[in-house]
Amino acid sequence: MKNRDKDQKITILGIGNTLFSDEGVGIHLLPILEESLKGYENVEIIEGLTDGMRLLGPVEDAENLIIIDAINAGKEGGTIISLKGDEIPAYFGIKMSIHQLGFQEVLLAAKMRERFPKQIVMFGMQPTSLELGVELTDTNRARLGDLADAVIQQVEHWSHVS
């Protein structure tokens, strides 16, 4: 029963810069999620790229938000990382990727305007390389399925919580 709770709207936001190899993981994952989650009427998938403050509307409109991005946590390349709620730096915290300062400002603005999602989780992958290039490294591409599984498990959990 994939849609037991259709009111539990879930927004998946992939962000990243596809010109810097593994920095684009949040964008490269979206086609896999679109295929895997096509039976979920309560899921909206948004390609955010590096849109910064233009993402404020989708963030404020989200009830349950999943963000997918490259996360520089100083771990081995390809490591899957998940952060929940306040673990996600809202502003001037850890600079987790090249463009994230803009997204941190989006989260801060949503909090200040008291329109923050009810639940928020960030999934990402430690970049192996941030060199100029439009493809993921072999290491990170090999882990896309694991990252997709983590996101899908979160969607299934939120879709079945009453």
- Over residues 133-145, the pLDDT tens digits come to 999 999 999 999 9
Question: Is the residue at 94 inside a domain?
Answer: yes
**Which amino acid would we find at residue 97?**
S
pLDDT of residue 8: 82
Q: Give the global pTM.
A: 0.88
Tell me which DSSP letter residue 36 carries: H
| pLDDT tier for residue 49 given thresholds of 50, 70 and 90 | confident
Asked if the model's pLDDT at residue 57 lies above 60, the reply is yes
CATH of the domain at 93: 3.40.50.1450
Residues 6 or more apart whose CB falls under 8 angstroms from that of 79 comprise: 73, 125, 126
pLDDT of residue 138: 98
Q: In whole angstroms, what is the distance from residue 103 CA to residue 15 CA?
A: 9
Question: Is the residue at 5 inside a domain?
Answer: no
- Over residues 99-109, the pLDDT tens digits come to 445 777 888 88
Question: Is the residue at 3 inside a domain?
Answer: no
